[in-house]
Structure 1
Amino acid sequence: MEFAALREEMVDSLEHDTKAVVQARPTGTAMRAVPRHEFVDAGHRAYTDQAFEHRGTRVLAPSTVGRLVDALAPERGDDVLVVGAGVGYTAAVLAEIVGGEHVHAVDIDRRVVYDARDHLASAGYGDVLVDCRDGADGLPEYAPFDRVLVEAAAVAPPPALCDQLVDGGRLVYPEGATNQRLVAVEGGEVASVHGPAAFAPLLVDGEQASAVERNRTVREDRERAARAAESRAGWEHEWIDWDGR
């Protein structure tokens, strides 16, 4: 109850203070539901509007997460890709809006991926898929996506991410190097600008502490098993085995 009250206060301040950074109702409702203290080991300070450090990366402040999600404008059932898994908090907020099975996150650092998975599972968002790979390559196995959110700055959105959007889909990212702005891209063009931004640049292979590695998850194993079961019956397998002899 204590943390729930702190969440309410946090979101109230983001919605109604002079900044009013959270304006979309789904964003505020989702942030009221997600237990941020499960993602940030800071006790009560998890509900203050401040950023933290985690394994050499920045954990975004709640106001920044709210701005990103507002700009992305996700709807229930949208398939969403988050580039930059972080501690998993943004993915959890999105899961509250679109459903956990529709959220996919990637990060180039394997240790960050492991931590994000643990946090999401502990907070009740185990259906969110988190994988370790170069974010600029996206996640083609699960494309196309209705929404793509990049939590790192780039001069232009990586072509692979644009290619993995559905027609009419939206990509949100911090544009620029030093003087950044948060932009939403639709149809290859900037559709809207959502104020200034200050993000670390999108990493490439070799700039992270740990190597890129493919990590299967329980969800992936379940999905692959289901596809295999649909594609071939047991008797068919036996027939093929015997025929090969």
Structure 2
Amino acid sequence: MDEASLRADMIEGLEHSIGEPIEPSVLTALQRVPRDPFVDDSPRGGAVDGDDPHSLSLETVVRLVTALDAHEGDAVLVVGAGIGYSVAMIAEIVGARHVHAVDIDRSAVVTARSNLDAAGYEAALVDRADGADGLPAYAPYDRILLEAAVIEPPRALREQLAADGRIVYPRGAGVQTVTAAEPSPPEGSDGDDVSAVGDDADDPAPVGFETVETHGPARLQPMLVEGEQPGVERNRTRREDAEHAERGRRRRHGWEQDWIDWDDRI
């Protein structure tokens, strides 16, 4: 079976698992973005969420990118570049030069850059940064996508979103709901153009935001903070003890620490 047939079967299977047709822009991206540069498996599928923090299942990628509702020319920030596949999907929709991605794991940044180059999306920027801080140098963003589970998006990310923008994130712990939130309409406006999922009192969106769309479920790794990336001791006490010990080892000891005033001693 050729790759085109495999890809058609993959898309049909995705629509069956999601339970609805795939949005046209997302469908086009699925058809155009090659899988081989990003994963070793066939075009049929992808990783299972939770098995690899850098690789999401195709079903989750489709849900995230669909909820993002990005359009050509939108400035997009992706927090959690991973293997770069979802970055490529978004680049196919909005244009590679409009996509910025960050990842706290340096090895993931290298992998994502390499994969995007191989797939023809080298114009997408991928930088090593703490996702909780966003990427203020290129703000504001029309769309922000978090590829890590949070209860609510960090304040820095919310502040880097355009006034009429949208932020998408897997909300919750354990099994999450893919959530799209937008800034709440100013007081006094009727807000008829925004269809919120629930009343303000029941909406778990951050203050100043309202939930406009949900997809689910998803099971992504929680958002990491500085010091929690792979290869770094995750227990803060042990990590800080080791850092103090290392600084102590490098510190000079003995007589060289004492200033000797030779004039007083002669």
TM-score by length of 2: 0.73
Seen in structure 2, the aligned counterparts of structure 1 residues 81 and 154 have a Cα distance that, compared at 3 Å, is same
Name the structure 1 match of 2:243: none
1:32 aligned counterpart, secondary structure: helix
Deviates more, 1:143-152 or 1:189-198: 189-198
Name the structure 2 match of 1:207: 228
Name the structure 2 match of 1:154: 150
**Between Structure 1 and Structure 2, which shows a larger proportion of helix residues?**
1
Could you tell me which runs of 5 or more consecutive residues in structure 2 were left unpaired when the two chains were aligned.
184-208, 233-266
**2:45 counterpart letter in structure 1:** T
Distance 1:122 1:22 in 2: 29
Contact 1:86 1:107 in 2 (8 A): yes
2:214 pairs with 193, 215, 224, which one? Answer: 193
Name the structure 2 match of 1:177: 173
Contact 2:46 2:56 in 1 (8 A): no
Counterparts of residues 6-17 of structure 1 (less than 5 Å): 6-15=6-15, 17=16
Contact 1:79 1:103 in 2 (8 A): yes
C-alpha deviation, 1:58, in angstroms? 4.3
Name the structure 2 match of 1:82: 78
Are residue 129 (structure 1) and residue 129 (structure 2) matched? no
1:105 pairs with 97, 101, 104, which one? Answer: 101
Distance 2:94 2:159 in 1: 21
C-alpha deviation, 1:18, in angstroms? 5.6
Contact 1:110 1:210 in 2 (8 A): no
Could you tell me which runs of 5 or more consecutive residues in structure 1 were left unpaired when the two chains were aligned.
212-245
Give CA-to-partner distance per residue, 1:109-142, whole Å, 9 cap, x none.
0000000000000010000100001001111011
Are residue 61 (structure 1) and residue 57 (structure 2) matched? yes
Are residue 37 (structure 1) and residue 58 (structure 2) matched? no
Name the structure 1 match of 2:26: 27
Name the structure 1 match of 2:4: 4
Contact 2:18 2:59 in 1 (8 A): no
Q: How many residues align?
A: 207
Contact 1:138 1:161 in 2 (8 A): yes
**1:2 counterpart letter in structure 2:** D
Distance 2:23 2:62 in 1: 9
C-alpha deviation, 1:143, in angstroms? 0.7
